[in-house]
Amino acid sequence: MARLLDAPSPPDAVFCFNDLLALGALRTVLASGQRVPEDVVVGRRGDQGP
């Protein structure tokens, strides 16, 4: 995620397969100084928990 944000054309949205990946993406975006959802939208697919 950090490499994506540092790319010459960083994404304005990412889609994560589960909640844990989305949490990591959110933390990385916020640590980079960007805002969610103003700068980067983080989407996720719902977990299939019990």
20 found inside a domain: yes
Neighbours of 29 (CB within 10 A): 24
Report DSSP state, residue 46: P
22 found inside a domain: yes
32 found inside a domain: yes
| Residues 28-41: tens digit of each pLDDT | 999 999 999 999 99
Neighbours of 42 (CB within 10 A): 20
- The pTM of the full predicted model, rounded to 2 decimals, is 0.84
28 found inside a domain: yes
| Residues 1-50: tens digit of each pLDDT | 999 999 999 999 999 999 899 999 999 999 999 999 999 999 998 766 65
The total number of structural domains in the chain stands at 1
Residue 50's pLDDT is what? 54
50 found inside a domain: no
What is the C-alpha radius of gyration for the chain, rounded to an integer number of angstroms? 11
